[in-house]
Structure 1
Amino acid sequence: MLIRPPEHVDLNTSLGPMRTHLFRPSIDRPVPAVVLYSEIYQMTGPIARTAAMLAGLGYLVAVPEVYHEFESAGTSLNYDAEGTERGNTLKTTKQLASYDEDARVAIDFLCQDSQSNGRVGAIGICLGGHLAYRAALDSRILATACLYPTDIHQHSLGAGMNDDSLARMGEIQGELMFIWGRQDPHIPVEGRQQIHQSLITSNRNFTWHEFNGQHAFMRDEGHRYDPAIANIVYAMIEELFSRVLR
């Protein structure tokens, strides 16, 4: 379906406004809502295209700027050495509690928005995969797609690099889907095995999918992009969200 022109809203947090980009389907009835968490680069072209694709499938999509307390509203980091260094520095400068507050604020907004049917999911890529996972600690998140989420196996998200994400897995009530690249050096096989075993031990509702892909194989810019795999993964995401959120 067609989508409306992108817009944004500045949501209040204890550390200032959080610029949140909105992509809405052009339809006059309530639809499911999705929080889309970006990579460390915030709102880039590939993230905007992913958000527009989801909106075109009939979802209200919100993309919060994860580093809003450090960068001016509307800032996106470049896919280069400088942008990567800045994004990785902020990832472990931001407080874990701030990540969690941001998630609550975004979910609150989506539950209350007039276009939302009140059923909310989450999806995230790289850093965003971890943030989507943590958003799923909120019982209002009914389905979550984590695309090669970093740092879960290392407990290294946020200031102090000592997060409790893996330990809290048993709190997640919604359905989880994990997508991995076997050639991704950021989440080696040992790390994936640790997460997989925790999912089994905690008896979560999940699916697990590994592809022969490098880190960022879903990003439609750069030499690691694999469009054939990306098309498969997007179909899987739509199946999950359609089945659970509609």
Structure 2
Amino acid sequence: MLIQSDHVDINTPTGIMRTYIHRPKSDSKFPVVLFYSEIFQQTGPIERAAKIMASHGYAVLVPEVFHELNPIGTILAYDDAGREKGNADKEEKNIEDYDTDNEAMIQWIKKQDWCNGNIGAMGFCIGGHLAFRAALQKEVKSTACFYATDLHTNTIPNKPGQHSMEKLGDIHGELLMIWGKQDNHVPIDARNEIHKKLEATNILFSWHEFNAQHAFMRDEGDRYDAELASICYQMSLRMFSRTLY
């Protein structure tokens, strides 16, 4: 499916949020996938991943997750300086501000004539956590979380009762949780803790662990696993086709 790419600047309570849009080149209506990046924002690998999803029949929105803390259009490099800056941004932005970002995107989406009214979410690394956070929105019907960081920590600033794992009761859609067994950012004890808490709810979720390192979906660097990436895209697409079409 041929796609087109553009961007929109969405007003949020914390400022303008540049949001990149990749969607089928068609006059038909399509489901929307909110796609959340790593701490580096819309890098080449993130843009390519979003376009893969778009080419399967989805309007994919990639927000600049740290829009309050950087000039519009900021992309951080996959190096020590980029990692240091991205982690500093993560530790500065309050978790509730991602909620208002999501609300602003969803309200904007509802006004678009290319949306069929169904919304899902997806993300890598911190983006996996932010996709999980987006699942708190009642409009989000299904969510694919890839090696979601910080679900087991308090690294992202939050008030009592506002941590993502304390708000599981607000999730009503389906979750797809994907992890790498060799991920040093979310080790086995942390994964077990997250799994145990999800098991104690009525949330419909599936849980998959692969022999892979952190960021195995990123098609740059020596951690990329193309075979597993293909499998995981297909798992996500199957869930979205069931829940958003």
The normalised TM-score by structure 2 is: 0.97
SS in 2 for 1:42: coil
Residues 79-125 of structure 1 show CA distances to partners (whole Å, capped at 9, x for unaligned) of 00000000000001012221111111112222221100010000010
User: Which range moves more in the overlay, 133-142 or 164-173?
Assistant: 164-173
The residue that corresponds to 2:203 in the other structure is 204
Q: Which amino acid aligns with 1:49?
A: R
Residues 152-191 of structure 1 deviation map (CA, whole Å, 9 limit, x = unaligned): 0113223689951111112200000000000000101111
Matched, 1:26 2:12: no
Question: Quick check: 153-162 or 75-84, which moved more?
Answer: 153-162
Letter aligned with residue 24 of structure 1: R
What is residue 149 of structure 2 aligned with on the other side? 150
* Sequence identity (%): 49
1:37-186 to 2 correspondence within 5 Å?
37-158=36-157, 164-186=163-185
Q: What amino acid maps onto 1:148 in structure 2?
A: Y
TM-align CA RMSD = 1.4
Contact 2:161/2:167, CA 8 A, preserved across alignment: no
8 Å CA contact 2:96–2:158 kept in 1: the answer is no
Bigger mean CA deviation after superposition, 35-44 or 108-117: 108-117
How much does 1:26 deviate?
1.0
Residues 157 and 163 in structure 1, CA contact (< 8 A), matched pair in contact too: no
SS of the equivalent of 2:32 reads strand
| Contiguous gaps of at least 5 residues in structure 2 | none
- Work out whether 1:3 is the aligned partner of 2:3: yes
CA 1:57–1:66 in structure 2 vs 1: closer, same or farther (change >3 Å)? same
3-state SS, counterpart of residue 165 of structure 2 = coil
* Matched letter for residue 130 of structure 1: H
Q: Is the 8 A contact 2:40 2:83 kept in 1?
A: yes
Letter in structure 2 aligned against 1:21: Y
Normalised TM-score (structure 1):
0.97
- Check conservation: 1:137, 1:173, Cα contact below 8 A: yes
Aligned residues: 245
Q: How far apart are the structure 2 equivalents of 1:227 and 1:12?
A: 37
> Alignment partner of 1:139: what SS?
coil
Structure 1's 207 and 122: CA in aligned 2 closer, same or farther, altered over 3 A? same
Question: After TM superposition, which residue ranges in structure 1, 4 or more long, deviate above 4 angstroms?
Answer: 159-163
